[in-house]
């Protein structure tokens, strides 16, 4: 089957939103509300509380050792007051995304827990770099972009399993060719482009869709070069540490432009790598949602 025909089928799949995985509607609302400095926290808490499953997840995670609340959290309202609006947004995303981002990636030869651990680590690293370098991008936005950056792998692996076995086999035959270039040659898209399109379909802000779509090419970003660079660097560090490495391997080299955009030094990179064991230990509560 030619790449053009495969690409056409994928376009049809993406056009039929009823056939795509669903992100709970409360997530989009929370993302928008949390970005508004004048947001009504009571309205946010009410929106979250409408979803019983996410509410339970928010309360459990809010009381975890990872977030260390000053007092027990018994409701979404208390979570927002105790931990803050932006932290609760991150918790909502973790609670809502787990079922989507913990599926095995057959074509990528990756277990569900691997993609989940990788997504969480990239999210936390992106947020930490944002704080470290005092970027214009808020850490919670960096967390969101990092958490969802590989959503395209879920789509392509779940809906086009046979094709992705072909891609993986082709990569084994041609190890010098990057996985995403093989994807484009055989499928017509790479997983990053698909992820960006899905986030747009889910009505996430343009900079989040761009960060997914251009995660390997941050120098092409327009909406937010900083955010895309944060995801690019965080993803590279996680893969270099062996967290979430699948058939795609390292995919792309660490881009000099991304380091320059973020003003990241060699000392910064060493500190980020050196802090990984402690960070992974701290994340245990999130990894077992």
pLDDT at site 144: 92
Closest to 115 (Cα-Cα) out of 150, 67, 78: 150
Per run of 10 residues, the mean pLDDT along the chain (length 289 residues) is 72 68 77 78 84 87 87 90 88 85 62 80 95 94 93 78 76 77 81 89 90 94 97 94 65 86 95 92 76
Query: Which residues constitute the domain of residue 170?
Result: 3-17+98-287
Kindly calculate the radius of gyration of the chain based on its CA atoms and give it in whole angstroms.
18
pLDDT at site 96: 84
Tell me if 226 is assigned to some domain.
yes
pLDDT at site 104: 64
Report the domain count for the chain.
1
121 to each of 130, 201, 211, 268, how far by Cα in Å? 14, 25, 16, 17
pLDDT at site 187: 78
Tell me if 88 is assigned to some domain.
no
CATH code of residue 129: 1.10.3210.10
pLDDT at site 18: 60
Tell me if 30 is assigned to some domain.
no
pTM of the predicted model as reported, rounded to 2 decimal places = 0.85
- Calpha distance 224→227 (Å, rounded): 5
Token couple for 188: 């017509």
Tell me if 67 is assigned to some domain.
no
Tell me if 209 is assigned to some domain.
yes
Tell me if 158 is assigned to some domain.
yes
Tell me if 74 is assigned to some domain.
no
């Amino acid at each position: 089957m030619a790449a053009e025909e495969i690409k056409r089928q994928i376009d049809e799949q993406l056009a039929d939103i009823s056939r795509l995985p669903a992100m709970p509607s409360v997530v989009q609302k929370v993302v928008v509300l949390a970005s508004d400095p004048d947001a009504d926290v009571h309205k946010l808490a009410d929106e979250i509380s409408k979803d019983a499953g996410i509410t339970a997840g928010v309360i459990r995670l809010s009381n975890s050792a990872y977030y260390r609340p000053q007092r027990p959290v018994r409701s979404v309202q208390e979570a927002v007051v105790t931990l803050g609006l932006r932290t609760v947004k991150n918790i909502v995303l973790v609670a809502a995304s787990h079922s989507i981002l913990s599926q095995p990636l057959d074509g990528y030869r990756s277990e569900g827990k691997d993609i989940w651990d990788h997504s969480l680590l990239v999210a936390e690293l992106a947020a930490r770099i944002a704080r470290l370098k005092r970027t214009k991008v808020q850490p919670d936005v960096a967390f969101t972009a990092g958490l969802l950056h590989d959503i395209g792998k879920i789509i392509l692996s779940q809906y086009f399993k046979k094709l992705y076995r072909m891609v993986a086999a082709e990569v084994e035959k041609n190890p010098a060719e990057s996985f995403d270039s093989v994807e484009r040659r055989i499928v017509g898209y790479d997983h990053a482009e698909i992820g960006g399109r899905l986030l747009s379909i889910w009505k996430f802000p343009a900079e989040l869709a761009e960060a997914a779509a251009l995660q390997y090419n941050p120098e092409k970003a327009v909406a937010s070069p900083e955010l895309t660079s944060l995801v690019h660097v965080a993803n590279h560090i996680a893969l270099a540490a062996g967290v979430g490495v699948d058939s795609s391997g390292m995919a792309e080299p660490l881009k000099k432009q991304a380091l320059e955009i973020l003003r990241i030094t060699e000392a910064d990179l060493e500190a980020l790598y050196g802090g990984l064991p402690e960070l992974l230990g701290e994340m245990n509560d999130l990894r077992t949602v």
